[in-house]
Amino acid sequence: MQKVVKYRCPSNIALVKYWGKKEGGIQIPANASISWSLSDLFAETTMIATPSNQTQLEFKYDGNAKPSFEPKILDFLNRIAPFSDFVKQHSFEVDTMNNFPHGTGIASSAAGFGALALCIADLEGKFEVGSDEFYQRASFFARLGSGSACRSVYSEPAIWGEHSEVENSSDLFAVPFEGQIHESLKNWKDCVLIVDDGEKKVSSTAGHSLLKNHPYAEARFKQAQKNIGNILQFMQNGNVSDFIALVESEALQLHSMMMSSIPYFTLIRPGTLAILEEIWTFREETNLPIAFTLDAGANVHLLYSSEIEEQVTNFIHTKLLVYCKKGLYLCSSIGGNPLKLS
Ligand code: PMV
């Protein structure tokens, strides 16, 4: 019998970054990472499963056949198959769309694989939808598609990777942060300033693999583990200025690892640095709680408390828009559950 399900899954932005994998296994992170989900930037995916003795796939993007995506998604299903008899015994039709443009450096793979993983965990019917086990299974599946995707299935800040200070943390799936977030770090927003909307010169996969022979890799992994412990403290005690300093340092460490890879590369653009300078000046002048972070790309994520939305919108319009490609920026609230749509 055919089964159909549809999910919406948010993208996410890492505060402490995953950059580098452990040897062996599929997408096993070299250090723990933590992210916020971006509820207004999401993928919506419909999945139809038909009993079959071979896992086959038909893939559509927003209703239109997209055979060029099929090998990647089929590869993903084949990675899941050893862990799921259901996947082994079905063929799939997938129709997916993102509500944000491609090539904007927003983690479309995190939202996309997150949505697919939720569909599979639901169709498989092993755990009750909405239970902790259900999200854990979806997170485990999502990781097999794209590592950072495993953090997208939670509305709470999600931690992925073993860490001594995070109970039940695992390299195989993300877990939601169970602590009490301080009022001053609740209700933040993320506006992504689009500095460059072109294809990335170096893929994340290639970037991760350059950590294997990286002269500073071990120091970076240690630093990230330490930063996880610290950021969890700041999120609970509301130490906003140390939170901001840590988040910005993480973004710059990510890009300095790229610049010191062998061979080296850069993804930031002159506009990226110009925006960072503007943010530092703005913060110095106003003392407002605003920070930046960067993904593996040139675009700047502007993080700020929603209480100062008016000032930040004004700041974007007067100082930052000039650096944005076609004046484009995309805003989202932090948090928000993945949604079952049918
Ligand atoms: O999940 P991947 O393989 O696309 O790697 C993502 C890595 C960063 O986005 C740069 C950092 C992170 O933790 O999300």
338 in Cβ contact with 118 (< 8 Å): yes
Q: Which helix (H) or strand (E) holds 37?
A: strand 33-51
Instruction: Determine the Cα angle at 175 with ends 169 and 178, to 5°.
Output: 95
Q: Which of 204, 205, 250 to mutate to test the pocket of ligand 1 (most atoms within 8 A of CB)?
A: 204
More confident residue, 185 or 199: 185
Whether 152 lines ligand 1, by a CB cut-off of 6 Å, is no
CA of 34 to the centre of ligand 1 (A): 11
Whether 33 lines ligand 1, by a CB cut-off of 6 Å, is yes
**Ligand 1 atom nearest residue 254's Cα:** 10
Split at pLDDT 50, 70, 90, the class of 342 is: confident
Q: What is the number of other CB atoms lying within 10 angstroms of the CB of residue 68?
A: 9
Q: Concatenated DSSP letters for 245-300?
A: HHHHHHHHHHHHHHHTSSS------HHHHHHHHHHHHHHHHH---EEEEE-SSS-E
**Maximum separation of any 2 CA atoms in the chain, in Å:** 65
CA of 53 to the centre of ligand 1 (A): 34
33 in Cβ contact with 18 (< 8 Å): yes
Whether 228 lines ligand 1, by a CB cut-off of 6 Å, is no
Average pLDDT on 216-221 reads 98
> CA-to-CA distance for 167 and 33, rounded, in angstroms?
14
Condensed to tens digits (0 to 9), the pLDDT of residues 131-187 reads: 999 999 999 999 999 999 999 999 999 999 999 999 999 999 999 999 999 999 999
pLDDT at position 103:
63
- Stated pTM of the model: 0.97
Q: Which of 16, 18, 33, 36 to mutate to test the pocket of ligand 1 (most atoms within 8 A of CB)?
A: 18
pLDDT at position 201:
85
Within 8 A by CB and 6+ apart from 313, the residues are none
CA of 3 to the centre of ligand 1 (A): 32
Within 8 A by CB and 6+ apart from 312, the residues are 189, 191, 288, 290, 302, 304
Instruction: Determine the Cα angle at 176 with ends 173 and 179, to 5°.
Output: 140
Q: Concatenated DSSP letters for 298-333?
A: S-EEEEEEGGGHHHHHHHIIIIIGGGSGGG-EEEEE
Q: Starting at the earlier edge strand, list the strands of the sheet with 188-193.
A: 290-294, 300-305, 188-193, 329-333
CA of 33 to the centre of ligand 1 (A): 9
Q: At residue 309, does pLDDT exceed 70?
A: yes
Number of H helices and E strands in the chain, helices first, is 9, 12
pLDDT at position 104:
64
> CA-to-CA distance for 35 and 158, rounded, in angstroms?
5
| Residue with token string 């240690």 | 222
Helix ranges (DSSP H) in 125-239 = 132-145, 204-209, 217-237
CA of 207 to the centre of ligand 1 (A): 10
CA of 12 to the centre of ligand 1 (A): 10
Both ends of the chain: CA-CA distance in Å? 17
**Ligand 1 atom nearest residue 109's Cα:** 4
Condensed to tens digits (0 to 9), the pLDDT of residues 36-76 reads: 999 999 999 999 999 999 889 999 999 999 999 899 999 99
φ, ψ at 186 (rounded to 5°): -95, 160
Whether 17 lines ligand 1, by a CB cut-off of 6 Å, is yes
Condensed to tens digits (0 to 9), the pLDDT of residues 79-127 reads: 999 999 999 999 999 999 999 877 666 768 999 999 999 999 999 999 9
Q: Which helix (H) or strand (E) holds 122?
A: helix 108-124
**Ligand 1 atom nearest residue 13's Cα:** 14
The residue whose CA has the least distance to atom 6 of ligand 1 is 148
> CA-to-CA distance for 328 and 317, rounded, in angstroms?
11
CA of 264 to the centre of ligand 1 (A): 18
CA of 295 to the centre of ligand 1 (A): 7
